[in-house]
Structure 1
Amino acid sequence: MTAYIVFQRDTTNDQQALDRYSERADGTFTGHDVQVLVDYGTYEVLEGPPIEGVVVLQFPDAAAARAWYRGEQYQEVARE
């Protein structure tokens, strides 16, 4: 069954750190069956507090999503 990972950015506290993350994050997709469905762009918040952006990734199943997210390559980028 298809699985999704949704990233929601509420506020940016360190623009330089976000820029470094953004430059490296896409490289972590290599070797993974992932499709980027939403990558910021235009959106409208209908409920709740405002956000700065959202990313939605699609994977073939939950195991594939976990393998990417928990993988060493992505975790290294996420820790920085």
Structure 2
Amino acid sequence: MTTYIVFIRESTQDAAELERYSASVKPSFDGHPVSFLALYGKHETLEGAPVEGVVIISFPTMAEAKTWYDSPAYQDVAQHRFKGATYRVVMVEGV
């Protein structure tokens, strides 16, 4: 079943680290069946605290999403995201 990973950037602590993440993350997707649905486009918070940005990506299955997220290639580059900002990341199956 299609699975979505939603990245919600709540606050930035180090813009340089986020830039390193952005410049390095693309190769982590090589060989993974990913589709990009939203990449920091215009957004409006309807409920809850305001957020800085949202990314939504999809994979054919939850197993494939976890394989990418847990991969050494992504976890290495994710360290820059962890240092650069506070995110909430959710994985959810579609219908």
The bucket for the TM-score relative to the shorter chain is over 0.9
Query: 2: distance between equivalents of 1:46 and 1:27?
Result: 33
Deviation by residue 1:12-56 (Cα, 9 ceiling, x = unmatched): 100000000011112211000000100001111100000000100
What are the ranges of 5 or more consecutive residues in structure 1 without an aligned counterpart? none
Paired position in structure 2 for 1:67:
67
The count of corresponding residues between Structure 1 and Structure 2 is 80
Q: Write out the 4+ residue segments of structure 1 that deviate beyond 4 Å after TM superposition.
A: none
Measured on the aligned residues, the alpha-carbon RMSD in Å equals 0.6
3-state SS in 2 of match to 1:63: helix
Quick one: percent identity of the two aligned structures?
A: 49
1:32 matched residue in structure 2 = 32
Structure 2: gaps spanning 5 or more residues = 81-95
